[in-house]
């Protein structure tokens, strides 16, 4: 195999579920090859911290997938599901200014660190409720019965989605997050059923249509009612944009945060010294979460489209090329992080796990808060926890990568 073919073969191997528990040796090899093109396709893979940072900050790159020469179908959350009028418009994750600026501004005030901080007592209560449920047991699944329920409850409460609908929303969100994988249209590798995805998108959209009607009649103290007021106030957002924004917040805020809590819990269980230290000093949680975001990121890659010809790390990128930034590789780049394969919560951490620039994750303060509270309460209340199996079983998701199940055993759960 020639040296040009090797990184392509390695890149394709990332799609193999067998690699999911530890893709990092593969990411290291791909990164060492530098930026490369996938054969003759209009797809360039970017892997170093410096190159990913440069692309994320470059005004000549876009999120508008209609500019891409190759319509891979891998980027829009609702790619497989644009069947209703409400979904004809992508969410603002896939819009450039001025639409992006206008829509992001409308929701951003609900996610500032100050506003989010007020949710801490409620999030603590939710985490304690989850742990209480397991107090009579000797084992629980730290993904499905710990990491999973918290983010969906939090985002539903924020948006004003009734609690009894949580299970349906969880299912739609989990299915739709598969459309962020790099292989969505490559049927041979794509294991989710496209018809099922299509149905999930249509149902989610119809659900928010119905909920907006209820909220219009009886507004509540929630984000959906606020967005409806903005819609009524004139040209700030259209009905289609409102539905797309609700769906974005649900999907973007759910699976990612589940993965962060699960990945951080896994990192903690593998490091008994860190567990003891966190138990004694809850302030350590912050550094631990940041290092989890670098070491084992919930979002492994970020796509962009070149809106102009440019060079990245000396490599020519053409207008219309899809640029795939392997964040998970960049975050183990020794040029940016000394001894990158060492998990070090005290390091100076310039990770890219929440992206960078105009589309920097809107929910980062909320995700950090949820993860910090979950990890701290876990360390404080679960006595002598240990993994039943290591490594855990992973979900098939390539991009929003995380464990599917993580059974743990423990001595007892202390009262709150």
Partners of residue 413 on adjacent β-strands: 382
x/- track of binding to ligand HEM for residues 144-173 (CB under 6 A): -----------x------------------
CA nearest 357: which of 61, 13, 144, 41? 61
What is the rounded distance in angstroms from the CA atom of residue 62 to the CA atom of residue 75? 12
Of the pair 8, 330, the CB lying nearest ligand HEM is at: 330
Of the pair 228, 289, the CB lying nearest ligand HEM is at: 289
* Minimum gap (Å) between residue 136 Cβ and ligand HEM: 31
CA nearest 121: which of 381, 382, 369, 363? 369
* Minimum gap (Å) between residue 104 Cβ and ligand HEM: 5
Q: Which stretch binds ligand HEM (CB under 6 A): 3-11, 20-28, 246-254, 270-278?
A: 246-254
> Up-side HSE of residue 402: CA atoms within 13 Å toward CB?
30
| DSSP annotation string for 307-320 | SS-EEETTEEE-TT
Are residues 236 and 230 in contact, defined by beta-carbon separation less than 8 angstroms?
yes
* Minimum gap (Å) between residue 410 Cβ and ligand HEM: 25
The alpha carbon of 379 is separated from its chain's Cα centroid by a whole number of angstroms, namely 24
Q: Which stretch binds ligand HEM (CB under 6 A): 31-39, 207-215, 244-252, 404-412?
A: 244-252
Q: Which stretch binds ligand HEM (CB under 6 A): 17-25, 137-145, 187-195, 296-304?
A: 296-304
Are residues 156 and 129 in contact, defined by beta-carbon separation less than 8 angstroms?
no
Q: Can you tell me which of 299, 301, 310, 406 binds ligand HEM, judged by CB under 6 A?
A: 299
| φ, ψ of residue 343 in degrees (nearest 5) | -80, 110
* Minimum gap (Å) between residue 145 Cβ and ligand HEM: 19
3-state DSSP assignment of residue 132: helix
Extract the tokens encoding 41. Answer: 């396709």
Of the pair 359, 377, the CB lying nearest ligand HEM is at: 359
Of the pair 201, 298, the CB lying nearest ligand HEM is at: 298
* Minimum gap (Å) between residue 42 Cβ and ligand HEM: 19
| φ, ψ of residue 305 in degrees (nearest 5) | -125, 130
The alpha carbon of 32 is separated from its chain's Cα centroid by a whole number of angstroms, namely 25
Of the pair 108, 346, the CB lying nearest ligand HEM is at: 108
Residues 346-405 within binding reach of ligand HEM (CB under 6 A)? 353-355, 359, 361-363, 366-367
Q: Can you tell me which of 65, 256, 265, 300 binds ligand HEM, judged by CB under 6 A?
A: 256
Measured at CB, which residue is nearest to ligand HEM?
363
Extract the tokens encoding 171. Answer: 């299912």
3-state DSSP assignment of residue 198: helix
Calculate the alpha carbon distances from 137 to 131, 261, 309, 371, 412 in Å: 10, 21, 59, 23, 8
Cis peptide, bond prior to residue 391, ω within 30 of zero = yes
Of the pair 310, 371, the CB lying nearest ligand HEM is at: 371
x/- track of binding to ligand HEM for residues 63-102 (CB under 6 A): -----------------------------xx---------
Q: Can you tell me which of 237, 244, 275, 302 binds ligand HEM, judged by CB under 6 A?
A: 302
* Minimum gap (Å) between residue 263 Cβ and ligand HEM: 9
Q: Which stretch binds ligand HEM (CB under 6 A): 11-19, 167-175, 192-200, 252-260?
A: 252-260
Total residues found in the chain within this entry: 416
Calculate the alpha carbon distances from 244 to 75, 193, 387 in Å: 15, 22, 39
Give the footprint of ligand HEM on this chain (CB under 6 A). Answer: 92-93, 104, 155, 248-249, 252-253, 256-257, 260, 298-299, 302, 353-355, 359, 361-363, 366-367
């Amino acid at each position: 195999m020639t040296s040009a073919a090797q990184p392509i073969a390695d890149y394709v191997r990332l799609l193999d579920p067998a690699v999911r528990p530890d893709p990092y040796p593969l990411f290291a090899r791909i990164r060492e090859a530098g930026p490369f093109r996938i054969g003759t396709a209009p797809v360039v893979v970017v892997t170093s911290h410096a190159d990913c940072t440069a692309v994320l900050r470059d005004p000549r790159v876009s999120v508008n997938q209609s500019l891409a020469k190759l319509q891979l179908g891998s980027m829009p959350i609702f790619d497989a599901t644009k069947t209703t009028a409400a979904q004809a418009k992508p969410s603002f994750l896939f819009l450039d200014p001025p639409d992006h600026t206008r829509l992001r501004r409308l929701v951003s005030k609900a996610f500032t660190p100050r506003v989010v901080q007020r949710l801490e007592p409620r999030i603590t209560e939710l985490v304690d409720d989850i742990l209480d449920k397991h107090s009579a047991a000797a084992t629980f699944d730290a993904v499905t019965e710990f990491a999973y329920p918290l983010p969906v409850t939090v985002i539903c409460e924020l948006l004003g989605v009734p609690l009894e609908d949580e299970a349906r929303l969880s299912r739609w969100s989990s299915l739709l997050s598969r459309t962020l994988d790099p292989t969505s249209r490559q049927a041979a590798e794509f294991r989710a059923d496209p018809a099922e995805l299509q149905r999930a998108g249509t149902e989610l959209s119809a659900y928010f249509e119905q909920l907006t009607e209820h909220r219009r009649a009886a507004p509540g103290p929630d984000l959906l009612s606020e967005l409806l007021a903005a819609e009524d106030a004139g040209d700030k957002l259209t009905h289609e944009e409102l539905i797309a924004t609700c769906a974005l917040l649900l999907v973007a805020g759910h699976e990612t945060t589940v993965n962060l809590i699960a990945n951080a819990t896994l990192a903690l269980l593998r490091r008994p010294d860190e567990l003891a230290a966190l138990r004694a000093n809850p302030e350590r949680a912050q550094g631990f979460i940041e290092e989890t975001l670098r070491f084992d990121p919930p979002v492994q890659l970020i796509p962009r489209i070149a809106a102009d010809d440019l060079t990245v790390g000396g490599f020519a990128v053409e207008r219309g090329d899809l640029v795939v930034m392997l964040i998970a590789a960049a975050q183990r780049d020794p040029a940016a992080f000394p001894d990158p394969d060492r998990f070090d919560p005290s390091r100076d951490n310039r990770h890219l796990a929440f992206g960078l620039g105009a589309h920097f994750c809107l929910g980062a303060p909320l995700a950090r808060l949820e993860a910090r509270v979950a990890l701290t309460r876990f360390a404080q209340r679960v006595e002598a926890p240990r993994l039943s199996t290591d490594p855990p079983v992973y979900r098939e998701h390539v991009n929003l990568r995380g464990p599917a199940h993580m059974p743990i055993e423990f001595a007892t759960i202390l009262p709150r």
